[in-house]
Amino acid sequence: MSVRIAIAGGNGRMGRTLIDLIQGNEELSLAAVTLAQNENVPEPAPVSAELYTHEIDVALSEADVLIDFTTPATIVVHAQACARAGVKWVVGTTGLDASEQAAVTAAAGEVAICQAANFSTGVNLMLRLVELATRASEGETDLEVIEAHHRHKVDAPSGTALAIGKAMAIGRDIDLDEHAVMSREGITGARVDGSIGFSTIRGGDIVGDHTAMFVSDGERLEITHRAGTRLAFARGACRAAAWLSEKPAGLYDMQDVLQLRD
């Protein structure tokens, strides 16, 4: 039997990609699509207009898993609704603050949740490679993360850039918050030893580029991932939804889905 999926944010860029993808997926079936209160069912609708609702509880009553690419402001309501309904949750929305993240963690006590800053298989392989490369690199190697996204993106650095920084911090056994340099401007002074630097580019329709840079005197290693379309994220989110349907309550990520843990 197929896993019944509710998509939150059906009029968004990711929501529309997911609707298209799930229609051709044998493991998953589309049970409901939610819209923000100020949105209408699109015309023409890509699926039956009856699947659309403004009420998250109505959507969850038909679903096994909610796939959520919306806004941080929606997260607390969705966390409580999933926990109440016993519906599993794929969380792709990024830019959560501490209280929104705490709501996700609390809901994971009740239902299985897969949360990832980036659902593409390539990026998750990259995170693993970055951790390995950091472990193998010499202590004086400078670590930098560069990311580029479309002009509409509202958070920076991207959740994926932060995840790359975190993989570096794990590889070096340090705390990212204590070592991150999020931007540089003016007379910054020399580079702080042991820091992890971030640079952000915004423009046009770039779907998402990330480079992890390992720079030492005399050589430079760069690991780069470029997403060509949103399909890479949508495919990963669908894979996570199918995987979650078998899992007990807990907070998982794509490293778990792809079995990339040690």
Catalytic residues: 149, 153
What do you get for the CA distance between the two ends of the chain, in Å?
32
Contact with ligand NAD (CB under 6 A) among 25, 53, 74, 255:
74
Q: Are 63 and 6 in contact (CB under 8 A)?
A: yes
Q: Does 92 bind ligand NAD (CB under 6 A)?
A: yes
Q: Does 35 bind ligand NAD (CB under 6 A)?
A: yes
Q: Does 12 bind ligand NAD (CB under 6 A)?
A: yes
3-state secondary structure of 16: helix
Output the smallest distance, CB 92 to ligand NAD, in A: 4
What residues numbered 147-176 form the site for ligand NAD, per CB under 6 A?
none
Q: Are 33 and 7 in contact (CB under 8 A)?
A: yes
How crowded is residue 224: how many other Cβ atoms within 10 Å of its Cβ? 11
Residue 159 is assigned to a ligand binding site: yes
Residue 14 is assigned to a ligand binding site: yes
Residue number with CB closer to ligand NAD (36 or 215): 36
Q: Does 89 bind ligand NAD (CB under 6 A)?
A: no
Output the smallest distance, CB 1 to ligand NAD, in A: 27
**Residues with Cβ within 8 Å of residue 123, at least 6 apart in sequence:** 160, 163, 210, 225, 227
Q: Does 211 bind ligand NAD (CB under 6 A)?
A: no
Could you tell me which residues are beta bridge partners of residue 7?
33, 67
| Site size for ligand NAD (CB under 6 A) | 24
Select the span of 66-74, 104-112, 187-195, 211-219 touching ligand NAD (CB under 6 A): 66-74
Q: Does 95 bind ligand NAD (CB under 6 A)?
A: yes
How crowded is residue 203: how many other Cβ atoms within 10 Å of its Cβ? 10
Task: State the virtual CA torsion across 57, 62, 67, 73 in degrees, nearest 10.
Answer: -10
What's the CA gap between 116 and 107, in Å, rounded? Answer: 15
Q: Does 116 bind ligand NAD (CB under 6 A)?
A: yes
Phi, psi of 159 (to 5 degrees): -60, -35
Residue number with CB closer to ligand NAD (209 or 215): 209
Pick out the residues of the known binding site for (S)-2,3,4,5-tetrahydrodipicolinate.
Answer: 150, 159-160
Q: Which residues bind ligand NAD (CB under 6 A)?
A: 8-9, 11-15, 34-36, 39, 69-71, 74, 92-95, 116-119, 233
